[in-house]
Amino acid sequence: MTKQAKAEKNIKYAREQIERFLWHEYRIKYPIEVYGHKRIEGEGFFSKLEFKDGKPSAIDISYNLLIGSKRERILLTSLREAVKIALWYRRKPYGEGDKEYETELKKYGLPRYGGLSQTGKELHTYSCSSCEKVFFLREKKLPKSKDVSEQNIYTSCCKAKFQYAGKIHYTNKQLQVVMQQRSKRGGKGVR
């Protein structure tokens, strides 16, 4: 089977499952188009709901997901967007991080990304040179004048110098752990 044929087959499967889910769980009959999108992962998404004239018109699903993943993953990704449609239909908040949306995702055992990039992020990482505990994650590299690895600043854990560990890809789950740790300490998270 070609990649295109596999993608088309999985798009059809996703559309059917979304419509069934909306009907069986919410009693909503809402036809929706599903498309494979080649660049959506670059934007940080596995799937995304498209609107036209203020109404959900289509769901974009990562082309890589459609051709390289098991059906269960495609199903879970698709149903996340179906929940957004149901909440939109009922005029309830459906944005990433909204309480109602997160509650519905939890209810159906669907992936929750905590308002962070679904695909993860590459971040500049600064850590302890001794124990390698991560202290700073930044989207942009610190300028030389503020770079803690370039100055005589020592870590609180080992009293060792900071090191620049480079630009590292963190998965969504890893980012959620970082955000939880930061919120416990009263920090702001990734900058």
Question: Hey, what CATH topology would domain 3-107 get?
Answer: Zincin-like (3.30.2010)
pLDDT surpasses 90 at 1: no
Q: Specify the range with the lowest mean pLDDT, choosing from 13-22, 24-33, 90-99, 165-174.
A: 165-174
pLDDT of residue 115: 77
**Once rounded to an integer, what is the mean pLDDT over residues 173-181?**
78
pLDDT surpasses 90 at 107: yes
Q: Give residue limits of the domains in the chain.
A: 3-107, 121-185
Share of the chain above pLDDT 70, in %: 95
- What's the pTM value of the predicted model, to 2 decimals? 0.74
pLDDT tier at 112, thresholds 50, 70, 90: confident
Q: Closest by alpha carbon to 183, among 117, 116, 96, 101?
A: 116
**Once rounded to an integer, what is the mean pLDDT over residues 118-140?**
86
Residue 178 and residue 117: Cα distance in Å, rounded?
13
- Give the tens place of pLDDT for each residue, 80-99: 999 999 999 999 999 888 89
Q: Which of 104-108, 119-123, 132-136, 184-188: highest mean pLDDT?
A: 104-108
Give me the chain's average pLDDT, please.
Answer: 88
pLDDT of residue 190: 52
pLDDT tier at 185, thresholds 50, 70, 90: low
